[in-house]
Amino acid sequence: MSVKNQFSKYANEYKNHNIIQQIVAKSLVRELKFQPKRILELGCGSGQVFNHISWEVEFYKAIDASSSMCELHPKANNIEVKCLNFDTQDFINEIKNDSYDIVLSSSALQWSNNLAKIIEHLSYITKEINAVLFTSNTFKTIQEITNTKSPILDEDSIKEAFSKFFNCEFETILYKLEFDNKKDLFDYIKKSGVSGEKSLSYSDSKKLYKEYPYNYLEFEVIFVKTISKL
């Protein structure tokens, strides 16, 4: 199962299972230093970022790889929603003649197969990027117990990709999401859309259920703000 389907499968339930994504989307918009008029958003989901924008925008291009998410995103004359994977040439062709005041991305770019390539192409069309990405330390204890590797990028790779083309400010934050019981905690993992295409074997799941020591899940996110182009 691809990452895209993991998100789509729970698209309608997703609102209840993406509380951390909602928190970071809100923070991303709140931290903006100005009110951009032309915005490109990568990984727009059902509109978590857009819904926090309280000012008039001239043009908003929203891109997501999941068609069911794109269907849920707000629509208007000045909003263009495109169902595209940002690792593809189609995406690069879609944006190459554009120009934006800012590019926003919340909880999406950590899935990229070539983040540096995306940032390079974004550097041609904007001076500013504000993004928040989950890092590979999300669900760190789970990975340690099951001896698995995170499917998402680590903090150093993320910093390196952005720093090739921009001077940046980085801030890494660990969120802990608490649960009343283990069943709720494990249900959340399945439906949160953060674990991607990796599903555990029955024996790993059993081991994890028995040995997981906390009543919370760990989510590590990195906030990226570009200061200037290199």
- Residue 17's pLDDT is 64
Gap between the Cα atoms of 205 and 12, Å rounded = 25
Gap between the Cα atoms of 157 and 201, Å rounded = 28
- Residue 19's pLDDT is 79
DSSP for 7-24, please give it: HHHTTTTHHHH-HHHHHH
What's this model's pTM, rounded to 2 decimal places?
0.88
> Which pLDDT tens digit goes with each residue over 57-73?
999 999 999 999 999 99
Q: Is the model's pLDDT at 7 over the cut of 70?
A: no
> Which pLDDT tens digit goes with each residue over 131-152?
999 999 999 999 999 888 999 9
CA distances (Å), origin 149, targets 19, 142, 145: 24, 10, 11
- Residue 195's pLDDT is 56
